[in-house]
Structure 1
Amino acid sequence: MNLELRHLRALVAVDEARTFTDAAISLGTSQAGVSRAVAALESTLGVRVFQRTTRSVTPTAAGQRIIEHARRVLNEAKLLEEAARDHAGELRVGYAWSALGSRTIALQRRWEEVNPGVQLIWVQSNSAAAGLADGSVDLAVVRRRLHDPRFTESPIGTERRYAAVAATDPLARRRFLRMADFAGRTVAVDSRTGTTVEDLWGPEAKPSSLRPIQGVDDWLTLISTGKAMGMSSEATATQYPRPGVAYRQVRDAPPIPVFLASWKDDPSVLLADFARLARDVFASPPPL
């Protein structure tokens, strides 16, 4: 039997998840399918890759070396896919919560002037790498470091932080807010993709609690019903107007850095074009 990419994907997924069940979930397949793929790989190579017990799955010494080679092969396959996508005439850009807010249209127009034959497609993905890890996008707009050795992040600008409160909240009557206005309040946060963490506040002005949510819709629903406050980037305030939610700039909050994340050693010239245009729109005054 010849090795196939699906065998390598199953191998790497098991190594990352350390269980066949979780690996199957991450790949969107069955546990039996993952087990068969790993068994087929071990049979083809004639080497046991994983040491299995009732409680854990760990790579053998030989398996660890094989897994590293598998990662490199999968990365190269990813680059081949991206090169083919460049030729197909599209660039897919992922984002978790919001793209570039009011700057998105300006960038879209500049892109069409520079690359009229390449379609720019925006893809929302509620994952830490905004769709980059699973290959659904070519690059991603992220507002927090990924700390993943497979990716590189390039800064393109910063954004102001905005509070989100229920329209009936007395704070909504103010023109702007300060960090101290969150003291004693419940703040909705997405720990996987959001930019709001408890360390933003000093000890004298901390919220009373942080309420975990998943995704922007959950966040907006809690805020509009008065069950929590929120804080996010100016792009979120622009991209997600919602009846019952008021956005107010937080004047003394630190700015949010914005990065473009991509696979390391990606040869695509389209990514360089996009990064240059993105920096240009951040350097220009934001649209009204």
Structure 2
Amino acid sequence: MPPADLSLRDLRSFLAVVDEGTFTDAAIALRTTQASVSRHVGALERALGVRLLQRGGRIVTLTVAGRRVVAHARRLQDEAEAVLRAAQDEGREVRVGYAWAALGGHTATVQREWARRHPGSELTFVNSATRFAGLTEGIAEVAVVRRDPGVSQLASALLGHEDRMAALPSAHPLARRRLLRMADFAGQTVALDVATGTTTPDLWTPQQAPGAFREVRGTDEWLTVIAAGRAIGLTSQATAAQYSRTGVVFRRLRDAPTVAVHLIWWRQDPPAYLDELCAVVREAYARAGRPAAGPTP
């Protein structure tokens, strides 16, 4: 037997009669006519192939089948209303995914500016230590990344640039210095997040090359390995601004290339707020002296 073709209006009318006790009162609650309520209830009963309500007398009552159906009907109505709310909530909460450090020291600044421009909207940053920083999981509509995901279905916009920082165990000899160079990594073990990190072996010349690389996954494991003295790290300035870990110190690098920060989204489904969000973030980076040097999306 094929599944019944259920209508949300039919379910709503049926539940209104159950809750109000009569077709007349249900019509008043729904701000419609008694004939419309009766028509929708009848359509639901025909779709299900059973009688749901006992007509006659002052109060309408449920049949045996109606008592079995009513709880499921409420759940269906609740789910349908949740779908409608989700579809209508675009703009009330803007969810931005990130794999490592959101926007670092600019994160709170951008959130405050967004709230000032859109009092009814909230800009939320959600962490997802995945290649697409929450896009494929559906937890974010756009995402901040610091390496090209290399997928044609995704579009991107340059937001700004960040300096690179060395991350060291607090007892490491290099931690005594305020400024470091890429050559200071020579012979050291460097922690790499190969999935989402910004550090790759080709950042060093053969003469500067670290002695070994230790693969980690995500910011927490990266910080833990460094705090334990098992490796040192290279990261964007955003990581240093956003994370603090006992036993880890960050030092500036004189000669490291900057990190490009991008916003990515599904090419076929750009959100309505995209241009304005990019503008707000770019303004924050420009004020810090690290502007984007690319066109708007």
- Normalised to the residue count of structure 1, the TM-score between the two structures is 0.69
Contact kept, 8 Å, 2:100 with 2:127, in 1: the verdict is: yes
User: CA–CA distance in 1 between the matches of 2:279 and 2:191?
Assistant: 34
Q: Which residue type is aligned with residue 241 of structure 2?
A: T
Partner residue in 1 for 2:123: 120
Partner residue in 1 for 2:203: 200
**Shift in CA distance, 229/267, structure 1 to aligned 2, threshold 3 Å:** closer
The correspondence for 1:246, drawn from 244, 249, 252, is 249
- 1:219 counterpart = 2:222: yes
Structure 1, 146-155 or 192-201: larger mean CA deviation: 146-155
Contact kept, 8 Å, 2:165 with 2:236, in 1: the verdict is: yes
The correspondence for 1:86, drawn from 84, 90, 101, is 90
The alpha-carbon deviation at position 176 of structure 1 amounts to 1.0
**Residue deviations 1:42-70, cap 9 Å, x none?**
xxxxxxxxxxxxxxxxxxxxxxxxxxxxx
Contact kept, 8 Å, 2:153 with 2:268, in 1: the verdict is: no
Contact kept, 8 Å, 1:156 with 1:258, in 2: the verdict is: yes
The correspondence for 2:272, drawn from 269, 272, 277, is 269
The alpha-carbon deviation at position 268 of structure 1 amounts to 2.5
User: CA–CA distance in 2 between the matches of 1:191 and 1:268?
Assistant: 29
The correspondence of residues 163-178 of structure 1 with structure 2, limited to 5 A, is: 163-178=166-181
**Helix, strand or coil: the match of 1:164?**
strand
- Compute the RMSD of aligned alpha carbons: 2.0
Question: What runs of 5+ residues in structure 2 fail to find an aligned partner?
Answer: 4-83, 290-297
The correspondence of residues 94-109 of structure 1 with structure 2, limited to 5 A, is: 94-109=97-112
Question: What runs of 5+ residues in structure 1 fail to find an aligned partner?
Answer: 3-79
Q: Which residue type is aligned with residue 175 of structure 1?
A: R
**Helix, strand or coil: the match of 1:269?**
coil
Contact kept, 8 Å, 1:82 with 1:268, in 2: the verdict is: no
The correspondence for 1:228, drawn from 226, 231, 234, is 231
The alpha-carbon deviation at position 285 of structure 1 amounts to 2.2
**Helix, strand or coil: the match of 2:109?**
helix
Contact kept, 8 Å, 2:193 with 2:215, in 1: the verdict is: yes
The alpha-carbon deviation at position 271 of structure 1 amounts to 2.0
* Percent pairwise identity: 45
**Residue deviations 1:125-153, cap 9 Å, x none?**
00011001121101000000111111101
**Residue deviations 1:190-214, cap 9 Å, x none?**
0000010000000101001110001
**Helix, strand or coil: the match of 1:281?**
helix
The alpha-carbon deviation at position 118 of structure 1 amounts to 1.1
**Helix, strand or coil: the match of 2:273?**
helix
- 1:188 counterpart = 2:191: yes
**Helix, strand or coil: the match of 1:104?**
helix
The alpha-carbon deviation at position 266 of structure 1 amounts to 2.7
User: CA–CA distance in 1 between the matches of 2:283 and 2:185?
Assistant: 34
The correspondence for 1:146, drawn from 144, 149, 155, is 149
User: CA–CA distance in 2 between the matches of 1:125 and 1:203?
Assistant: 34
Q: How many residues align?
A: 209
The alpha-carbon deviation at position 91 of structure 1 amounts to 0.7
Q: Which residue type is aligned with residue 244 of structure 1?
A: G
Contact kept, 8 Å, 2:131 with 2:196, in 1: the verdict is: yes
**Residue deviations 1:220-248, cap 9 Å, x none?**
11111111000111010011111110100
User: CA–CA distance in 2 between the matches of 1:250 and 1:81?
Assistant: 48
User: CA–CA distance in 1 between the matches of 2:219 and 2:196?
Assistant: 10
Bigger Cα Rg? 2
The alpha-carbon deviation at position 275 of structure 1 amounts to 0.9
User: CA–CA distance in 2 between the matches of 1:93 and 1:106?
Assistant: 15
The alpha-carbon deviation at position 117 of structure 1 amounts to 0.8
- Normalised to the residue count of structure 2, the TM-score between the two structures is 0.67
Partner residue in 1 for 2:134: 131
**Helix, strand or coil: the match of 2:279?**
helix
The alpha-carbon deviation at position 81 of structure 1 amounts to 10
User: CA–CA distance in 2 between the matches of 1:100 and 1:81?
Assistant: 29
Contact kept, 8 Å, 2:141 with 2:271, in 1: the verdict is: no
